[in-house]
């Protein structure tokens, strides 16, 4: 695994870039954490980062099943009831979602250079719309987007990334695609799709769960496009 330092040799040659959304471009994972902590404590349980790591990046119903299983809430709440319960709070929080550091600069840079970019998020379309309330212009730069409701098998299955790549005409070879992800399930999905993957994990995520990516970065601000055969950022840092 590379470190992202300036002395690093070329890490790959890619032509197309696929972005995850939650926890990668948008600072939305904290919303889920707050709401799920609240719900867990109502049942006398603790919502840990270990559990969060197993849920993040997955489609809502799959994450909900994980929570009910792991907290042993069977007979107390169903995954479907859990989703209904958290919805009202999330619906209020999502429209306030902010961009994570480096997201806007990177997207605008790739777009300005004509590099094909798309979005592959496990969020369903309604949540996607709420979360991007403040960022319509930026998210309009994507050539296309695939949301969780458009695939049967969510991350860690490769389907969402393969579908995202298939929507480009002509469709690139998966090996020519670079995926940015924050979640272990997303990294697994990208690698299962045969794509390169850069992981930008939350600082709280156990680094033992960050091993599958081709490169680990603390922030999108550390990304060096030229290491992947992409145009470098301007020297003045703009
Ligand atoms: O695939 P992303 O965009 O991270 O969405 C996952 C999110 O719905 C919960 O973690
Ligand atoms: Mg994510």
CATH number for the domain that contains residue 43 = 1.10.150.240
Length of the chain: 238
69 shares its domain with 132: no
Q: Is residue 101 part of a domain?
A: yes
pLDDT of residue 8: 58
Residue-level pLDDT at 235: 86
Q: What is the pTM of this model?
A: 0.94
pLDDT for the residue numbered 3: 45
Select from 18, 19, 22 the residue to mutate for testing ligand 1; criterion: most ligand atoms less than 8 Å from CB.
Answer: 22
Quote the pLDDT of residue 237. 59
| ipTM surpasses cut 0.90 | yes
Q: How many domains does the chain have?
A: 2
In the chain, the percentage of residues whose pLDDT exceeds 90 is 95
Closest residue CA from atom 8 of ligand 1: 123
Q: Are residues 90 and 159 in the same domain?
A: no
The CA distance from 132 to 138, in Å, is 9
Ligand 1 centre to CA of 56 (Å) is 6
Q: Which residue owns the Cα nearest ligand 1 atom 5?
A: 122
177 shares a domain with 113: yes
The pLDDT value recorded for residue 9 is 75
151 lines ligand 1 (CB under 6 A): no
Positions of the chain with pLDDT under 70: 1-8, 236-238
Range of the domain at 55: 29-95
Could you confirm whether 20 is annotated as catalytic? Answer: yes
The answer to whether residue 8 sits within a structural domain is: no
Active site residue 236: no
Residue-level pLDDT at 2: 45
Distance CA 219, CA 30 (A): 16
Task: Give me the chain's average pLDDT, please.
Answer: 95
Cβ 21 under 6 angstroms from ligand 1? yes
Burial class for 105, CB neighbours closer than 10 Å (0-12, 13-18, 19+) = middle
């Amino acid at each position: 695994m590379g470190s992202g330092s300036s002395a690093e040799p070329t890490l790959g040659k890619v032509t197309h870039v696929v972005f995850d959304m939650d926890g990668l471009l948008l600072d939305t994972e904290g919303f889920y954490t707050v709401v799920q902590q609240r719900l867990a404590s109502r049942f006398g349980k603790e919502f840990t980062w270990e559990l969060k790591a197993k849920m993040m990046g997955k489609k809502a119903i799959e994450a909900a099943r994980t929570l009910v299983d792991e907290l042993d809430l069977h007979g107390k709440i169903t995954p479907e009831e859990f989703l209904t319960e958290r919805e009202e709070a999330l619906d209020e929080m999502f429209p306030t979602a902010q961009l994570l550091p480096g997201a806007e600069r990177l997207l605008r840079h790739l777009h300005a250079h004509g590099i094909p970019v798309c979005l592959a998020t496990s969020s369903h379309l309604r949540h996607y719309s709420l979360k991007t309330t403040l960022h319509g212009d930026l998210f309009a730069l994507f050539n296309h987007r695939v949301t969780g409701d458009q695939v049967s098998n969510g991350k860690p299955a490769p389907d969402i990334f393969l579908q995202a790549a298939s929507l480009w005409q002509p469709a690139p070879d998966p090996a020519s695609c670079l995926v940015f992800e924050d979640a272990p399930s997303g990294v697994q999905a990208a690698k299962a799709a045969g794509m390169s993957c850069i992981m930008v994990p939350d600082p709280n995520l156990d680094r033992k769960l960050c091993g599958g990516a081709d490169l680990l970065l603390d922030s999108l601000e550390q990304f060096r496009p030229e290491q992947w055969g992409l145009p470098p950022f301007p020297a003045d840092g703009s």
